[in-house]
Structure 1
Amino acid sequence: MGQLEGKVALVTGAAQGIGRAIAVGLAAEGARIVVADLERAEEEARAFPDGVGLTVDVAEEAAVAQMVEETVVRCGGIDVLVNNAGLYASLAMRPFTEIPLEEWRRVMDVNVASMFLTCRAVVPAMRERGGGAIVNISSGTPFRGVPFLLHYVTSKGAIVAFTRALARELGKDAIRVNCVAPGFTMSDGVKQHPEVIEQLRDVSVAARTIQRDQEPEDVVGAAVYLSGPAASFVTGQTIVIDGGQYFH
């Protein structure tokens, strides 16, 4: 039996990239997977035993509430929430003075407000189960102060603060809240944007202690650990996974 046998794991942005890799890792430990994504959720969910696919925009309050309600109805509850959905590869690198306010707000909605909405909706279900684990996906960029993506870096820094504050609130409920901060990862979304790879791949690899590409699978071990019983006394923490580009 896996360490998550009998548990239900809801993973946002799980149809591809880091989210999908984490879902595969959780499923390997016995968790029943709920794939929540804007596209291909139902299709990708078929790859998991008793998998559930839900098409949802996690920046929309009503859609998030419906996602959680349907998960509870179909799966009986929620034990693990992985907040992975976010905007990154489609964003153009440019000076902060050239970032439109509308784009800034969209990044904050998708990368930060979505986590507020999903946690607010999921926590009552976790309380009914007697506890749970929330894993938020941030980024290594706020630790290094990466330029020309101010809205993205700011949003990912906010996730670290969000994780710490929410962990304080939910400790009494036996709900652990932790964070994983990957470096520049060769995810499906990144591979769809060759200009991003050209700008960031070589410089990222050169700055690492372990000098190779980072793949989505590199994030899985930490996410599974933080979701499971081995991390039962760990909360409010952020694990930076970037091959030693930044020591945190």
Structure 2
Amino acid sequence: MSDRINERRHEGRTAVITGAAAGIGRAYALRLAAEGAAVAVLDRADGTAVVKEIADAGGRAIAVQADLTDPASVVAAQGEIAEQFGPVDVLVNNAGIYPNQPFDTMTFEDWRAVFTLNVDALFHTAKAFTPGMRERGWGRIVNMTSNSIGLVIPGFAHYVASKMGVIGFTRGLATDLADAGITVNAIAPSLVRTATAEAGPAEFFDAVPQLQAIHRVQVPEDLTGMLSFLVSDDAAFVTGQTLYVDGGLVRS
């Protein structure tokens, strides 16, 4: 990955990445830290291993544990990050769940569990971190949605609905925050090879890449270049957009 890194592109910025203890979030944290950002690994799980990776490479990072579905927990995390790193410039809402469950067996509690983390948590983090961005007149927010909104697989009704909600929130928030110099965009990946995804049906990894223009399984590092661009000054006129980084599965 070193040959793709834009050296010190994010020097002087502080980034918060949710769900960064593993998977896509980990890749995001490593990339932004390598490009100069101070990174807060915000996760319910312990993110100290990622922090050590970043520190060993000469970067700056802290691990903060929080329940993103609990507003008070998010506010406490914001205070801890501000105390250690100061104001936050970049917020990456990466945390999410994607259970595979037929609608016939789905309860309302199952439905709400998906929405509580995949959508409601974005509201909580935006409320906690955007006031500081507004004060300074600069900010970047990137939300993770999914290309499943363009090619729906059975058993994901709650997940697909939640990811459509992410797109709606991205567009609305981009409109409300534009006058403060804050951009808000979404990234839509394909099926990404992570430990969590590999715990699901194995046949997905055979079928999905064949539907893409690029016939290979996506890995977290495929997403980091788009993230780096969206949170940079180069993307100052890009907001309210959903960018598909999915190997050409959804060709819109």
| TM-score interval, smaller chain | over 0.9
Corresponding position: 1:93 with 2:101: yes
Per-residue CA deviation, residues 122-145 of structure 1 (Å, 9 max, x unaligned), is 001112232110000110011223
**Contact 1:180/1:241, CA 8 A, preserved across alignment:** yes
Q: Spell out structure 1 runs of 4+ moving beyond 4 A.
A: none
Ranges in structure 1 where 5+ consecutive residues have no aligned partner: none
Corresponding position: 1:118 with 2:125: yes
Range that drifts further, 164-173 or 43-52 = 43-52
Aligned partner of 1:129 in structure 2 is 136
Question: Take 2:135 and 2:62, find their aligned partners in 1: how far apart are those partners?
Answer: 21
Question: Take 2:100 and 2:208, find their aligned partners in 1: how far apart are those partners?
Answer: 17
**Contact 1:34/1:52, CA 8 A, preserved across alignment:** yes
Aligned partner of 1:155 in structure 2 is 162
Question: Take 1:41 and 1:67, find their aligned partners in 2: how far apart are those partners?
Answer: 14
Corresponding position: 1:173 with 2:180: yes
Secondary structure in structure 2 of the residue aligned to 1:11: strand
**Contact 2:91/2:140, CA 8 A, preserved across alignment:** yes
Task: Read off the aligned partner of 1:227 and give its amino acid letter.
Answer: V
Ranges in structure 2 where 5+ consecutive residues have no aligned partner: 1-6
CA shift, 1:42, in A, is 3.0
**Contact 2:69/2:120, CA 8 A, preserved across alignment:** yes
CA shift, 1:73, in A, is 1.4
**Contact 2:33/2:60, CA 8 A, preserved across alignment:** no
Aligned partner of 1:222 in structure 2 is 226
Question: Take 1:169 and 1:219, find their aligned partners in 2: how far apart are those partners?
Answer: 26
**Contact 1:10/1:82, CA 8 A, preserved across alignment:** yes
Calculate the TM-score normalised by the size of structure 1.
Answer: 0.94
* Pairs within 5 Å for 1:29-44: 29-44=35-50
Corresponding position: 1:51 with 2:55: no
Task: Read off the aligned partner of 2:156 and give its amino acid letter.
Answer: L
* Pairs within 5 Å for 1:9-48: 9-48=15-54
Secondary structure in structure 2 of the residue aligned to 1:51: strand
Question: Take 2:100 and 2:145, find their aligned partners in 1: how far apart are those partners?
Answer: 19
Residues 92 and 145 (structure 1 numbering): CA distance in 2 closer, same or farther, change over 3 Å?
closer
Task: Read off the aligned partner of 2:209 and give its amino acid letter.
Answer: V
Corresponding position: 1:203 with 2:207: yes
Task: Read off the aligned partner of 1:76 and give its amino acid letter.
Answer: G
Match of 1:106 among 99, 113, 116: 113
Secondary structure in structure 2 of the residue aligned to 1:144: coil
Question: Take 1:163 and 1:146, find their aligned partners in 2: how far apart are those partners?
Answer: 23
